[in-house]
Amino acid sequence: MSGGKLTIDDIAKALGVSKTTVSRAISGKGRISQATTARVLAYIEQHKYRPSAMARGLAKQKTFNICVVWPGEEEVRDMTLLPFFQRCLLGAGQTAAGAGYDLVVSLVSGDDISNLQRIVEHHKADGVILTRILEGDRAAAYLKETGLPFVAVGSSPDPDLIQIDNDHYGACRAMTAKVLSGGAGRPILLASRDRNRVTGARRRGFEDGCRDRGIALDEESIIPYGGQEDWNSLQDTILQKGADILFCMDDAIAMDIMARCRQEKIRIPEAFQVASFYDSHNLSLVTPGVTALSFDDRRLGREAARILLEKIGGEDPSSLLLKDYQIIERESTRRL
Amino acid sequence: MSGGKLTIDDIAKALGVSKTTVSRAISGKGRISQATTARVLAYIEQHKYRPSAMARGLAKQKTFNICVVWPGEEEVRDMTLLPFFQRCLLGAGQTAAGAGYDLVVSLVSGDDISNLQRIVEHHKADGVILTRILEGDRAAAYLKETGLPFVAVGSSPDPDLIQIDNDHYGACRAMTAKVLSGGAGRPILLASRDRNRVTGARRRGFEDGCRDRGIALDEESIIPYGGQEDWNSLQDTILQKGADILFCMDDAIAMDIMARCRQEKIRIPEAFQVASFYDSHNLSLVTPGVTALSFDDRRLGREAARILLEKIGGEDPSSLLLKDYQIIERESTRRL
DNA sequence: TTGTATGCGTTATCAT
DNA sequence: ATGATAACGCATACAA
């Protein structure tokens, strides 16, 4: 009770010292005796004093807030990306809290960055984390213009953008090679139609993974996939090429494949194997479970926040590629 | 470029007026001539001035931030609740932005409310929205203690808690009655094992819905369901009772049922019908699609924010039960 | 080691 | 209708 009405001045008066002394005792800056420090700290502890973030911010010209730009669309794709964004947020929140920072979320959908602008213009945050980065990202462009420190989770062609991302290329390459070592030898990559950076990295990883196993690819080894019509022609291709393993660009594609196979009573992995370049909870629930690549999304958020804090602190950090990943082997690539 | 270094004082000097005049022109409060107002506003527009949120906050003793308490667990159940929380956040963000407020998220998992405490104690928000409310909710208890305005999304037995929730009872009752009017007459409710408030409301809705159609229930009409072992005994019960429709407490249960039926080649709706008291994207993707109850979660967030803002504004709003819902009929309850 | 005075950018209270 | 000035709560350069 009695809320947070206690100010540094109250403490000073109560203890018969000056505000400066109290301030010093709290921050530990400046020369001050152990005795008074202890006395002040004790009083603070006793009366549960907490400094006003606003007053402190105004004085130091800092908000101690990090703005996290989050997808504001009604439907985040098939909701399949939501867990990623949440874990990212969790990670960022964790290291932010550790540094005494809080999280301000800015919901931006597509090109409408008005919400982000409001937050930035009103100086509500000391830095920004973009949890995704679209093609021709307006948010990134805007932030660059303002000069406010910011980092982006994901990959962009823009070199002078601090980006934190998983090593999709390396992971896909390793997984491709590993799964192919299980016996299958005629792979097809099902590529999503939207071309963002990460799909490019996955594609290259796939290609090099095949190369690692000495498998030659042709034009029909990588085909766009988006739904019913693609499914029909896909089956022809599989027959023609004698393909025996399908790599899916992401979990949405993999789930679609699994659903159609189930419907048409195509048995996996007997008819052909299936693997996904991105894991999701669904892939573990479906029968058979789908082998997939798993990343530590929380860590992604943590690193993003860490690097942003460095940037805010005046350092000059550079981009980061997280090499960690896990290949989750499930029944869909079981050796027969 | 040239950031937000522009202050109200700069404007005053540039225009040869006092800070007071500028402030008045901006806020519209106090007597001031149209001429100078226009002049100031033009200058502001021209130079893209935006007031400092911190300074304004310090002066008015307000942060213009709303704290949204979000689940901070690694795994939010089966991730099935995540879309709900996101839509809730979206809604809150929307009306908050409309009122010039921003969102500070507090990630709290279970009983660890330290993050929320930090935000509250440092006065980083003028009010709090709890996007869920657990049994013996520590966050709610803490907030009550502080006296800070807050509202909760969901239902709690605590009467002096401002809560915003969907009318689960009414919706479930209506859906139960409607689906039963399709021909089926021997229903079973599959209840989740965790007992939170909302499951209670759904259960009562189910009971009264049955009553509305003159269907008598016994002890075996409502059975707990949690996985494999329950599935086995459930099949016995269905045979014994001749049950022809399964109502599922939520989408997770419904999905589990659908998966098992698929595996054991039990045809829906031929063998029995299936309906869920909570919709999710998955329920629309599975074959056959599952009839379910759909709510406007965004609106839930909007209303929560609206009511919280009223509370912050000194009014004394009361709880709100949203009567809107939609019964999404899919093939799982198709009349044969 | 401690205290004084000033600034941070805005709003609010008085005057004028 | 407008202006000077004092808060708001904290940090800090400068004195003592």
Helices (H), chain A: 8-15, 19-27, 34-47, 53-60, 82-98, 114-121, 138-146, 168-180, 197-212, 228-241, 251-263, 281-285, 297-312
Average pLDDT of chain A is 92
- Reading across the β-sheet that carries B222-224, which strands appear in turn? B222-224, B187-191, B245-248, B273-276, B291-294, B326-328
Distance C3 C1' – A40 CA (angstroms): 16
Residue B216: per-residue pLDDT = 93
> How would residue A28 be classed by pLDDT, with cut points 50, 70 and 90?
confident
User: Running DSSP on this structure, what letter comes out for residue A245?
Assistant: E
- Residue A63's closest chain B neighbor by CA? B54
Is the CB atom of residue A35 positioned under 7 angstroms from any atom of strand C?
A: yes
Contact of A13 with A24, CB cutoff 8 Å: no
**Cβ contacts of A45 on chain B, cutoff 8 Å:** none
Strand-strand pairing, A127-130 and B127-130: unpaired
**Cβ contacts of A54 on chain B, cutoff 8 Å:** 54, 57-58, 63, 123
Q: pLDDT tens digits for A89-113?
A: 999 999 999 999 999 999 999 889 9
How far apart CA A7 and CA A22 sit, in angstroms, is 10
> Cα-flanking dihedrals φ and ψ of residue B165, to 5°?
-150, 165
Neighbours of B308 (CB within 10 A): 29
Q: Decide if B122 and A50 are in contact by the 8 Å CB cutoff.
A: yes
**Residue in A54, A58, A145 closest to B1 by CB:** A145
> How would residue A77 be classed by pLDDT, with cut points 50, 70 and 90?
low
Stretch A30-56: mean pLDDT: 89
Length of chain B (residues): 336
> Cα-flanking dihedrals φ and ψ of residue A34, to 5°?
-60, -40
- Kind and range of the H or E run holding A247: strand A245-248
Q: Decide if A287 and B259 are in contact by the 8 Å CB cutoff.
A: yes
Q: Minimal Cα–Cα distance from A220 to chain B, Å?
A: 29
Q: pLDDT tens digits for A284-319?
A: 988 899 999 999 999 999 999 999 999 999 999 999
**Residue in B118, B120, B287 closest to A97 by CB:** B118
Q: pLDDT tens digits for A257-286?
A: 998 998 888 999 999 999 999 999 889 988
How far apart CA A145 and CA A139 sit, in angstroms, is 10
Map tokens 């709610």 to a residue. Answer: B140
**Residue in A54, A86, A104 closest to B102 by CB:** A104
**Cβ contacts of B107 on chain A, cutoff 8 Å:** 89-90, 93-94, 103
How far apart CA B24 and CA A219 sit, in angstroms, is 68
> Mean pLDDT lowest for which of B72-76, B92-96, B177-181, B319-323?
B72-76
Q: Which nucleotide is nearest to A11 (CA to C1')?
A: D9
Q: pLDDT tens digits for A194-221?
A: 767 788 899 999 999 999 999 999 988 9
**Cβ contacts of A80 on chain B, cutoff 8 Å:** none
Strand-strand pairing, B163-166 and B320-322: parallel
For chain A, the maximum distance between any two Cα atoms, rounded to a whole number of angstroms, is: 89
pLDDT at B151 over 60: yes
Nearest CA to B113 among B94, B96, B128? Answer: B128
Residue A285: per-residue pLDDT = 85
Strand-strand pairing, A102-108 and A65-71: parallel
How far apart CA B128 and CA B67 sit, in angstroms, is 5
Q: pLDDT tens digits for B170-220?
A: 999 999 999 999 887 899 999 988 767 788 899 999 999 999 999 999 999
**Residue in A78, A87, A124 closest to B102 by CB:** A124
Nearest CA to A277 among A238, A213, A326? Answer: A326
Q: For helices A114-121 and B82-98, give the axis angle rounded to 10 degrees.
A: 60
Contact of B99 with A115, CB cutoff 8 Å: no
How far apart CA A20 and CA B188 sit, in angstroms, is 70
Residue B113: per-residue pLDDT = 96
Q: Collapse the DSSP code of B186 into the 3-class scheme (helix H, G, I; strand E, B; otherwise coil) and give the result.
A: coil
Q: Decide if B123 and A53 are in contact by the 8 Å CB cutoff.
A: yes
- Reading across the β-sheet that carries A127-130, which strands appear in turn? A320-322, A163-166, A150-153, A127-130, A65-71, A102-108, B102-108, B65-71, B127-130, B150-153, B163-166, B320-322
Ordered by where they begin, the domains of chain A are 8-58 (1.10.260), 61-164+297-322 (3.40.50.2300), 168-296 (3.40.50.2300)
Residue A3: per-residue pLDDT = 44
Contact of B109 with B71, CB cutoff 8 Å: yes
Q: Which amino acid is at B327?
A: I
Q: pLDDT tens digits for B106-146?
A: 999 988 999 999 999 999 999 999 999 988 899 999 999 99
Q: Minimal Cα–Cα distance from A1 to chain B, Å?
A: 5
Q: Minimal Cα–Cα distance from B196 to chain A, Å?
A: 23
User: Running DSSP on this structure, what letter comes out for residue B112?
Assistant: B
Neighbours of B194 (CB within 10 A): 11
How far apart CA A65 and CA B56 sit, in angstroms, is 16
Query: Could you give the angle at the alpha carbon of A80 between the alpha carbons of A78 and A82, nearest 5°?
Result: 110
Residue A248: per-residue pLDDT = 97
User: Running DSSP on this structure, what letter comes out for residue B15?
Assistant: H
Nearest CA to A133 among A122, A144, A146? Answer: A144
Residue B3: per-residue pLDDT = 45
Average pLDDT of chain B is 92
Contact of A46 with A34, CB cutoff 8 Å: no
Q: Collapse the DSSP code of B164 into the 3-class scheme (helix H, G, I; strand E, B; otherwise coil) and give the result.
A: strand
Beta strands in chain B (DSSP E): 65-71, 102-108, 127-130, 150-153, 163-166, 187-191, 222-224, 245-248, 273-276, 291-294, 320-322, 326-328
Residue B113 in tokens? 């409310």
Strand-strand pairing, B65-71 and A320-322: unpaired
